[in-house]
C-alpha cells in the first residue's frame, strides 16, 4: 500500500518497540494516519453510477465484466441512483436533449463526487461535434476530473483513467477537502440547462441578451441601408 | 472460384414489374414514372397516396412498408416523401412510391391508417424536414424537442458550427489547419438562437403535448378511490439500454398507455452524413448500432456501390460475410445476456455470454484495429486482409477453434442453463405477444418479425453479397412472445455458425487474392448521380440506407438510415399494454434496441 508510506511507518524515538514486534507495529499519530486511511478506503470503493450514454457504455460494461474485472479496484458496485454513487462516468455523446438530465443527476450526487469524461464525445464532442444536437464536451456544464481519450476507449484505457482518479484521490487531505467545510464551493448546484429554441445555459443569459440586442441592431442597420 | 458459385439463380417473373403495371392500370391519372436519370419508382399525386397504398397492401401483396424517407428537393422547391414497400410473401425488390409537395407548405396524407408502422418515421420526417402528415394521430417532434428552432435536415438550415456545405472544409484541407469552432461562437459552445430571441421563461413547459395524450382516469366506484398514475421510466434508468425514456400510465401495476420518448442520443447522423464525403461516412455508420459496426458498414457500402457501380472481388465478399455473421453472434450474445439481466438474472448470464464475445472482439481488433468501431468495409471491397495471427494463434486456426469449439460450447451452455429454466419460462412465455399481422403492419423487422411467425429475412428475400449461394435456414418461431424472441436469437446464432463454417474453406482457398477492386480511392465521385437504396439483414433487423447524389457528386445529397431498432419500437406500446410494469423491462429487452440507431 504505497499510500500509507508517506504518513505511517516513521518510528518515534520516545517509544521503544520490542524487536519481535518490529514488523507488526507502526508508531504514528492520528494526524499522519488519517489521510492515508481516509483515502485508502475511498479510492478502493469508488461506486460509479449506472449511466450508459452511447458506444462507450458498451466498453464500460465490458470493463466491469469478467475479463477486465473492475472488482479488482473495488469499483464493481454500479449504483442506479446518484444518491449512492461517487463517480459519474459520462460514457458517450452528450446531446442537448440529455444535458439537463445529466446536470440534474450531478446535482443529486453527494460530495465527494467525481466526474469522468469517457471518450472523445464526452471530452469535446468527438466526431459528432459539428452536429446541431451535440454538446461539445460535458465540461462546458459540469466540472470534470479525468478525461479518457479514445473512440471508444478500450477497457484498458478506462482502467487507466480510473487509476488516474485513484491517484487524484490519494492526493487529497481530509484537513483541506472542501466538502466538510461551510460554504463548500464544490457542493454548489449547477443550474440545470433549459431546452428552448436551442439549449440555454442559464449562466449565459446575459450573453444571450447582449447577442439578441446586437442582432436587433444589425437588422435595423440593414433595413436602414436598404431604405 | 468454383463454377457453381457463379451460376445465377433462376429468374422468375419480377413481382415488382407486375405490380407496377397493375397499379398504373388502376390509377392512370395519379401515377407517373420517375423521370430523373438514375432514379426509380413511381410519383404519386399526394391526394391518391392512401388509396394507392391500400391497393398495394390488400390486393397486390405489397404489405410491408419498410422505409419512409423525407427528401428536401431545394432546387425544385419541393419536398418529397419516398416510401419503400416490399412484399413479405414474394420477396424481391421494393415498389418505390414518391409523393412530391410544395416546399413552402408541405402536407402529405399520413399512411398511419394503412400501416401503423409509419408512425415514428413520419414524425421523424416532420421533425427533421418539416413535412406535415395529414391525419397523423400524434404529430409531435421525435428526435429534437418541442420548441426546437427550425427543421434541421432542410438544406438551407445551418447548424451552429456550420462551415461549408460539403467537406473537406477549406479551413482544414489541404492546408492542415485547425479551426476551434467554440472560439468563434459568441456563447463558447455549440448553440445558436434565432436572431433577437430572449428567454422568456416559457421554455420550462416544453412537454405539455406529451402528457395531454395520457389522460388520467379516476375510478368513480364508491369506496374505491383509485387513480391512474403516469410514470417516467428513463432517460437515466438501468433497464432502458441507454438513454431511452418511456412515459407509462399505470393502473395499479398494469400498463394502460405507453409513449416512448427518444432523441436523447440524437447525434445528427444524417445532417453530418450529408456534409461528409462518401468515404467519411463509413466510420459514422460504425456508431449507429455500435454493437454491430461491421454490418452497418456493409449496408452503407452496398448502397454507395450501387451508385458507383463498383465490383467486389470474391475474397472480399467472403471476408464480409465472415465478419457480418460474427457480428450477428456478437450482438445476440449481448442481447441475450441483457435480456436475462432484464428478466432478473442479474449479471451472471451476462458474464457467461460475454467471455465468448470478447474472443470475437479480439479477432475484430486484430483484423481492423478496433474492438468495436471496425470501419472495415470499403467501396468495392474491404480495408484489410486477415491478420497473420490472433492471440498468438494462426488466424484460420483461431477462427476454426472459435466456430467449431468455443462458440458452440458457449451456446450449448447458455441453452442448457436458460432455455429450460422455470423462472425464465414463467416470466417470458405468453408475455409481450405480437401477432403476425401486427408484426407486419408495424413494420417490425429482424428477430421481432420472425419470432411472430413471419419467415422474412433479407438474406433470403432479396439476397446480397454471396448469401444466395450459402446454405442456411431462416430461423422462425411462431408464438411472438418474449420466450420466442429469446429462442430465435439462439437459433440465429447456430445458423450464423453454419454460414461461417461454409465460408472458412473459401477464405483458405482465396488466400492472397485481391480484397478490393482497383486502387483504394479517397475522393470518390459518383459518375451519373441518382439514388440507391440498399438493405441488409442486421442482427437487429432490416437496416436500409437511402443515398442520393448529384452527377459527379462527392457527397450524398440525401442520406437516410432506415434503422431497425427505431422502427421496431413502434410496436412497443402494442406489446406492453395490459402487462405489468415489470414485464415492460423484459419486453423492451426482447426487442433489443440500441440507442445509437434509434436516435441516430
- Taking only the tens place, the pLDDT of each residue in B513-533 is 888 887 777 778 888 888 999
Question: Using an 8 Å Cβ cutoff, are A109 and A83 in contact?
Answer: yes
- State whether B197 and A212 contact (CB < 8 Å): yes
Over residues B378-394, mean pLDDT: 89
Q: Taking chain A, what is the end-to-end CA distance rounded to the nearest angstrom?
A: 78
What band does B5 get if pLDDT is binned at 50, 70 and 90? very low
C-alpha cell at B3: 463454377
Q: How far is CA B278 from CA A125, B175, B361, B442, B526, in A?
A: 22, 21, 27, 32, 9
> Residues of B with CB below 8 A from A197's CB?
147-149, 193-194, 197
| Residue where the block lists cell 516513521 | A10
Kindly state the average pLDDT of the residues B539-547. Answer: 92
Q: What is the grid cell recorded at A28?
A: 504514528
Residues 6+ apart with CB under 8 A from B365: B371
Residue B393 and residue B388: Cα distance in Å, rounded?
8
Q: B402-433 burial by CB neighbour count: b if 16+ within 10 A, else e?
A: bbeeebeebbeebeeebeebeebeebbeebbb
Q: Are A144 and A116 spatial neighbours (Cβ–Cβ below 8 Å)? A: yes
Find all residues with CB under 8 Å of A49, minimum gap 6, and list them. Answer: A78, A79, A80, A81, A82, A85, A87, A88, A89, A105, A109
Residue B163 has pLDDT above 70, yes or no: yes
Mean pLDDT of B559-584: 90
SS3 of residue B261 by DSSP = strand
Question: Residues in chain B, how many?
Answer: 600
Min mean pLDDT across B12-21, B106-115, B263-272, B361-370 is at: B12-21
Assign residue B529 a region: left if phi > 0, alpha if psi is -120 to 50, beta otherwise?
left
Res B324 pLDDT > 90: yes
pLDDT of A74 over the 60 cut: yes
Determine whether the interchain pair B264/A97 forms a contact, defined as Cβ–Cβ distance below 8 Å: yes
Give residue B60's pLDDT band: very low, low, confident or very high (50, 70, 90).
Answer: confident
Residue among B463, B523, B92, B527 at smallest CA distance from B306: B527
For residue B264, which residues of chain A lie inside 8 Å, CB to CB? 95, 97-98, 101
Output the DSSP codes for A64-104.
Answer: HSTTT-GGGGT----BSSGGG-SEEEEESPPBTTTHHHHHH
- The shortest CB-CB distance from B266 to any of A65, A133, A219 is to A133
Percentage of chain B lying above the pLDDT 90 cut: 27
- Identify whether B32 is preceded by a cis peptide bond (ω within 30 of 0): no
Residue A4 binned pLDDT confidence (cut-offs 50, 70, 90): very low
Average pLDDT over residues B266-279: 90
Share of residues in chain A with pLDDT > 70 (%): 94
Cα–Cα distance for residue pair A165/A86, rounded to 1 Å: 11
Sorted by sequence, the CB contacts under 8 Å of residue B32 that are 6+ apart come out as B42, B43
pLDDT digits (tens, 9 = 90+) for B398-409: 999 999 998 999
Chain A, chain B: beta-carbon pairs less than 8 Å apart: 177
Can you tell me the mean pLDDT for A125-144?
A: 90
Region A38-46 average pLDDT: 89
B257-276 residues touching A, CB cutoff 8 A = 263-268, 271-272, 275
* Assigned C-alpha cell, A42: 475511498
Averaged pLDDT score across all residues of chain B: 86
SS3 (DSSP) at B30:
coil
Arithmetic mean of pLDDT, B417-436: 88
pLDDT number for residue B215: 58
- For residues B502 and B273, the answer to whether their CB atoms sit within 8 Å is no
Q: Does residue B287 belong to the interface with chain A, where contact is any CB pair within 8 Å?
A: yes
Residue B32 or B224, more confident: B32
Q: Which of B144, B199, B290 sits opposite A205 (nearest CB)?
A: B199
Average pLDDT over residues B179-204: 80
More confident position, B391 or B523: B391
Q: The whole model's pTM is what?
A: 0.88
How high is the pLDDT of residue A2? 40
Cell of B8: 445465377
Asked if A197 and B242 come within 8 Å (Cβ–Cβ), the reply is no
Give all domains of chain B, ordered by start, each with its CATH number: 14-134 (3.30.460.80), 269-599 (1.10.645.10)
- The pLDDT assigned to A14 comes to 75
CB contact under 8 A, B147 and A195: yes
**What pLDDT sits at residue A1?**
40
* Cα angle B206-B210-B216, degrees, rounded to a multiple of 5: 125
* Grid cell for residue B553: 457528386
CB atoms within 10 A of CB B500: 25
Which residue's entry shows cell 446586437? A214
The mean per-residue pLDDT over the stretch B133-146 comes to: 88
Instruction: Check pLDDT > 50 for residue B411.
Output: yes
List pLDDT tens digits, range A146-202: 999 998 899 999 999 999 999 999 988 888 888 888 887 777 788 888 888 888 888
Amino acid at each position: 500500500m504505497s499510500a500509507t508510506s508517506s504518513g505511517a511507518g516513521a518510528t518515534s524515538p520516545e517509544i521503544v518497540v520490542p524487536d519481535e514486534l518490529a514488523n507488526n507495529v507502526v508508531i504514528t499519530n492520528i494526524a499522519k494516519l488519517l489521510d492515508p486511511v481516509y483515502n485508502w478506503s475511498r479510492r478502493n470503493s469508488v461506486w460509479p453510477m449506472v449511466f450508459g450514454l452511447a458506444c462507450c457504455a458498451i466498453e464500460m460494461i465490458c470493463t466491469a465484466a469478467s475479463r477486465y474485472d473492475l472488482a479488482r479496484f473495488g469499483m464493481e458496485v454500479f449504483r442506479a441512483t446518484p444518491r449512492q454513487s461517487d463517480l459519474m462516468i459520462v460514457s458517450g455523446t452528450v446531446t442537448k436533449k440529455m444535458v439537463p438530465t445529466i446536470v440534474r443527476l450531478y446535482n443529486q450526487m453527494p460530495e465527494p463526487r467525481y466526474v469522468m469524461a469517457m471518450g472523445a464525445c464526452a471530452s469535446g464532442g468527438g466526431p459528432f461535434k459539428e452536429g446541431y444536437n451535440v454538446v461539445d464536451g460535458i465540461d462546458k456544464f459540469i466540472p470534470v476530473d479525468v478525461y479518457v481519450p479514445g473512440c471508444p476507449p478500450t477497457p484498458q484505457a478506462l482502467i487507466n483513467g480510473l487509476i488516474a482518479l485513484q491517484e487524484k484521490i490519494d492526493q487529497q487531505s481530509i484537513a483541506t477537502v472542501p466538502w466538510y467545510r461551510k460554504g463548500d464551493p464544490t457542493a454548489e448546484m449547477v443550474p440545470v440547462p433549459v431546452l428552448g429554441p436551442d439549449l440555454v445555459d442559464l449562466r449565459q443569459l446575459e450573453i444571450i441578451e447582449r447577442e439578441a440586442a446586437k442582432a436587433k441592431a444589425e437588422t435595423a442597420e440593414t433595413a436602414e441601408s436598404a431604405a | 472460384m468454383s463454377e457453381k458459385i457463379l451460376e445465377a439463380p433462376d429468374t422468375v417473373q419480377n413481382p415488382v414489374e407486375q405490380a407496377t403495371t397493375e397499379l398504373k392500370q388502376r390509377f392512370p391519372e395519379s401515377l407517373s414514372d420517375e423521370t430523373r436519370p438514375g432514379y426509380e419508382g413511381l410519383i404519386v399525386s399526394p391526394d391518391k397516396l392512401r388509396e394507392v397504398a391500400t391497393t398495394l397492401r390488400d390486393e397486390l401483396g405489397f404489405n410491408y412498408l419498410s422505409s419512409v424517407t423525407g427528401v428536401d428537393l431545394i432546387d425544385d422547391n419541393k419536398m418529397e416523401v419516398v416510401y419503400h414497400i416490399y412484399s413479405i410473401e414474394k420477396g424481391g425488390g421494393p415498389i418505390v412510391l414518391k409523393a412530391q409537395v410544395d416546399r413552402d407548405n408541405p402536407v402529405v396524407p399520413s399512411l398511419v391508417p394503412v400501416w401503423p408502422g409509419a408512425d415514428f418515421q413520419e414524425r421523424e420526417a416532420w421533425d427533421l424536414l418539416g413535412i406535415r402528415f395529414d391525419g397523423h394521430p400524434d404529430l409531435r417532434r421525435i428526435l429534437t424537442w418541442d420548441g426546437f428552432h427550425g427543421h434541421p435536415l432542410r438544406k438551407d438550415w445551418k447548424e451552429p458550427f456550420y462551415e461549408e456545405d460539403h467537406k473537406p472544409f477549406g479551413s482544414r484541407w489541404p492546408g492542415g489547419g485547425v479551426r476551434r469552432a467554440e472560439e468563434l461562437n459568441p456563447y463558447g459552445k455549440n448553440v445558436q438562437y434565432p436572431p433577437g430571441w430572449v428567454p422568456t421563461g416559457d421554455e420550462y413547459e416544453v412537454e405539455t403535448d406529451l402528457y395531454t395524450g395520457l389522460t388520467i382516469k379516476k375510478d368513480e366506484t364508491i369506496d374505491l378511490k383509485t387513480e391512474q398514475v403516469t410514470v417516467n421510466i428513463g432517460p437515466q434508468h438501468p433497464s432502458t439500454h441507454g438513454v431511452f425514456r418511456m412515459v407509462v400510465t399505470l393502473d395499479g401495476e398494469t400498463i394502460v398507455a405507453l409513449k416512448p420518448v427518444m432523441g436523447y442520443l440524437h447525434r445528427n447522423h444524417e445532417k453530418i452524413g450529408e456534409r461528409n464525403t462518401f468515404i467519411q461516412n463509413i466510420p459514422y455508420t460504425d456508431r449507429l448500432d455500435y454493437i454491430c459496426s461491421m454490418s452497418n458498414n456493409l449496408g452503407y457500402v452496398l448502397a454507395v456501390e450501387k451508385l458507383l457501380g463498383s465490383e467486389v472481388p470474391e475474397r472480399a465478399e467472403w471476408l464480409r460475410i465472415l465478419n457480418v455473421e460474427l457480428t450477428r453472434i456478437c450482438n445476440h450474445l449481448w442481447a441475450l445476456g441483457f435480456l436475462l439481466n432484464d428478466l432478473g438474472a442479474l449479471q451472471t448470464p451476462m458474464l457467461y455470454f460475454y467471455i465468448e464475445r470478447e474472443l470475437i472482439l479480439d479477432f475484430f481488433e486484430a483484423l481492423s484495429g478496433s474492438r468495436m468501431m471496425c470501419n472495415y468495409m470499403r467501396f468495392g471491397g474491404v480495408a484489410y486482409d486477415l491478420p497473420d495471427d490472433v492471440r498468438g494463434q494462426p488466424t484460420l486456426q483461431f477462427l476454426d477453434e472459435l466456430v467449431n469449439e468455443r462458440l458452440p460450447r458457449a451456446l450449448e451452455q447458455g441453452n442448457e442453463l436458460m432455455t429450460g429454466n422455470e423462472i425464465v419460462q414463467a416470466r417470458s412465455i405468453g408475455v409481450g405477444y405480437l401477432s403476425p399481422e401486427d408484426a407486419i403492419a408495424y413494420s417490425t423487422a429482424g428477430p421481432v418479425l420472425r419470432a411472430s411467425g413471419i419467415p422474412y429475412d433479407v438474406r433470403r428475400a432479396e439476397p446480397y453479397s454471396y448469401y444466395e449461394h450459402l446454405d442456411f435456414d431462416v430461423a422462425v418461431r411462431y408464438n411472438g412472445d418474449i420466450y420466442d424472441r429469446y429462442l430465435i436469437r439462439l437459433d440465429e446464432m447456430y445458423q450464423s455458425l453454419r454460414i461461417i463454417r461454409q465460408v472458412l474453406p473459401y477464405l483458405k482457398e482465396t488466400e492472397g487474392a485481391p480484397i478490393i477492386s482497383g486502387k483504394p480511392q479517397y475522393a470518390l465521385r459518383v459518375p451519373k448521380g441518382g439514388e440507391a437504396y440498399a438493405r441488409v439483414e442486421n442482427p437487429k433487423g432490416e437496416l436500409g440506407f437511402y443515398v442520393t447524389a448529384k452527377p459527379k457528386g462527392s457527397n450524398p445529397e440525401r442520406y437516410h438510415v432506415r434503422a431497425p431498432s427505431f422502427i421496431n419500437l413502434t410496436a412497443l406500446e402494442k406489446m406492453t399494454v395490459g402487462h405489468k410494469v415489470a414485464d415492460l423491462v423484459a419486453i423492451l429487452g426482447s426487442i433489443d434496441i440500441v440507442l445509437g440507431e434509434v436516435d441516430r
